[in-house]
Chains A and B, each alone.
Chain A
């Protein structure tokens, strides 16, 4: 059991409270799901609940935290707390220490003071529960996101603790991988484990959650049984993304498509691509017209990202051709294609390096020789609602804001085609809707928008057309039926 009573916390070298007067009880065998906007303090809550804030971070703390009835300060350190609690962080890659899946789990088991026979027994059981037996000799960094997450979970389960804390265990996973994680966690709950899960995908966890907690600005804004919490319409929109009406709202507010639409801006003919000897795309043919909003859906590894990387020649076709606005990509450089195609990657942190938000946007403009005109930068920031952050350090922004900044960096470069890889990853309902509204507005302003997503709601409520990929092939390509 974990109990937090009137806990407030300020990180070192900051002045703002990351947690404010927070009280929460995690009772044995129960499952609490914590959700809320990025920057609301969810991860800080996890760190507080397992004593990391107290023992590792410093900063200013008030209030009381007890783990299994004992004050967190009474534990000698994290290794002592780890006898009671297991935590899975949101970055599975950072939790892979060894070089095979089996070695990762076995090593975690070796430090529990168990007899060798017991270790072997538990290893087999954990591999079985987490569906990792077939992957035991694989190298962790060659696994898919879902598989890595299962390895991180398995290594934590190896500790044999009754309390598990999971920080966004499914944030970057597709439907299939998410369902598998939920299945594993449901099984653990049935075994009597106590779970504290930070998540945005309430719909997937609905059946196992006993208490739903919504956090905003470091404080709990709603807590209780899910059905009670979700009665509040404002809270409901944070918990469950609602893309309803985006198509209509955007169309009404901005001018209709410019004339000349319906000519293909992206033309893919007999495209095949292989990574060394491993085929990733097989004989793809498709055309995307100017002004279209296209959603590309499919499981991880289906070839979605490989396909869009051909649009700006980050990858060059092994066979076949890709034409962007009539130009064969084989005859263009990546820098030339960047004028036509703006690509926003899944993790915005892969691009930020400048000291201010303004400089970050100016970088792309300078690369294209557009000049870092303040008016262009202001317009791009205004478009995504970040004008007030112009002088801030990009990495200080919340995840949702960083995602919007990544979009602003691309908008400022004024490409005709904007491609986004999983733009709503790690965002709460409100933030995800905001991003999709921005994209819809861009479409109405004449841009062609291509979105890679696992979320079929995005395709259903925002896109005009849905392309479904599976194992490197397009298995369906059809207009979205508007309800």
Chain B
């Protein structure tokens, strides 16, 4: 079972970066992709992230999420086609030849364009956050967030939410198998998913609540909430950090210059 958003133990370029550098990287990538409306520029950002993943030996992990990302992209495009008709009509979702309802739901170039922009922004955000999370040990993340004066309870909530994704995946799979063994056949598709809610979700939630009780007690009994901490093996800024920082500063400066003098290239 592939693990979603879990730290991968490797020694690549991204792993060696200081968490602060990575947080800055996330901020720059997020802000840029939110403001940019140029499809070629967004494609360039996606390609740059994939190149960065390749350099950091994390391309396999990033590519693993491609299926989900493409699926979501298709969903975005369908939603915009359905809800935001705009510009030239390229065709119709229901062919004009169909009696009564033919010609309904126009497919417009404007809607497809907006859908593509949303999909590409989603790709940038997912790839950037994935690079950040799979290359950063939660311990380093806790250190960095503590230094940013975030409350420890919020930090732990964030760390645990990520940490327990694979646990829930495995638990859900076990429950699913246990119900299948009792002759349960919810069927496929959306209807099957709805039918499987009670027999799968109820045990999953009940077991998770019990587990969260133990987890909460463990956090207290190990003193994680005391705030008294000896910092060991702290990450120092290295050459890679300075290179990345310089790259981010250059990219931001370039972005601002383009926004002022050649806004047509990015907006």
Contact = CB atoms under 8 A, between A and B. Distances in A.
Interface of A: 50, 52, 56, 77-79, 81-83, 85-87, 89, 91, 93-100, 103, 106-116, 119-120, 137, 139, 141, 155-156, 158-159, 309, 312, 314, 333-335, 338-339, 341-343, 345, 347, 349-353, 363-364, 367-368, 395, 409-410, 413
B218 A97 contact: yes
Contact of A350 (B6, B175, B223): B175
Interface residues of B, number: 55
B232 A103 contact: no
Contacts of B166: 141
B71 interface: no
B139 A413 contact: no
A87 B6 contact: no
B181 A334 contact: yes
B182 A110 contact: no
Contact of B230 (A85, A113, A156): A113
A338 B183 contact: yes
B35 interface: no
A270 B43 CA distance: 51
Given A339-B183, A367-B184, A352 B203 contact: yes
A343 B142 CA distance: 43
Contact of A77 (B139, B218, B220, B228): B220
Contact of B220 (A79, A139, A156, A314): A79
Given A82-B223, A89-B218, A98 B139 contact: yes
B174 interface: yes
Interface of B: 3, 6-7, 9, 137-139, 142, 156, 159-160, 163, 166-167, 170-171, 174-175, 177-185, 198-200, 202-203, 206-207, 210-212, 214-215, 217-226, 228-233
B181 A395 contact: no
Contacts of B185: 333-335, 367
A338 B178 CA distance: 11
B181 A314 contact: yes
29 contacts: A52-B217, A56-B220, A78-B220, A82-B221, A89-B214, A96-B163, A97-B218, A98-B137, A98-B163, A99-B6, A99-B163, A106-B233, A110-B229, A111-B224, A111-B226, A116-B230, A120-B232, A155-B222, A156-B221, A158-B222, A334-B181, A338-B183, A347-B174, A350-B177, A351-B182, A353-B200, A353-B206, A364-B182, A368-B183
A109 B212 CA distance: 22
A95 B182 contact: no
B136 to A, nearest CB: 10
B138 A98 contact: yes
B179 A351 contact: yes
A299 B199 CA distance: 31
Contacts of B217: 52, 56, 78, 87, 89
Q: Is the interface of B mostly helix, strand, loop or mixed?
A: helix
Contacts of A338: 180-183
Contacts of B225: 79
A110 B214 contact: no
A81 B223 CA distance: 10
Contacts of B179: 351
A95 B174 contact: no
Most buried by B among A91, A106, A409: A91
A314 B184 CA distance: 12
A458 to B, nearest CB: 21
Given A87-B221, A91-B211, 8 more contacts: A82-B220, A96-B163, A106-B233, A109-B230, A112-B230, A155-B222, A351-B175, A353-B202
A52 B220 CA distance: 10
Nearest to B180: A334
Contact of B203 (A91, A97, A112, A353): A353
Nearest to A115: B230
B202 to A, nearest CB: 4
A112 B175 contact: no
Nearest to B201: A353
Contacts of B156: 97
Nearest to A365: B183
A82 B181 CA distance: 43
A99 B7 contact: yes
Contact of A345 (B139, B142, B177, B212): B177
Contact of B178 (A83, A85, A335, A345): A345
B177 A309 contact: yes
B56 to A, nearest CB: 17
A353 B198 contact: yes
Contact of B219 (A97, A99, A115, A335): A97
Given A91-B214, A97-B160, A98-B139, A112 B180 contact: no
A334 B137 CA distance: 40
B234 to A, nearest CB: 9
A159 B222 contact: yes
Contacts of B198: 353
A139 to B, nearest CB: 7
Nearest to B2: A276
A335 B9 CA distance: 40
Contacts of A155: 222
Contacts of B207: 349-350
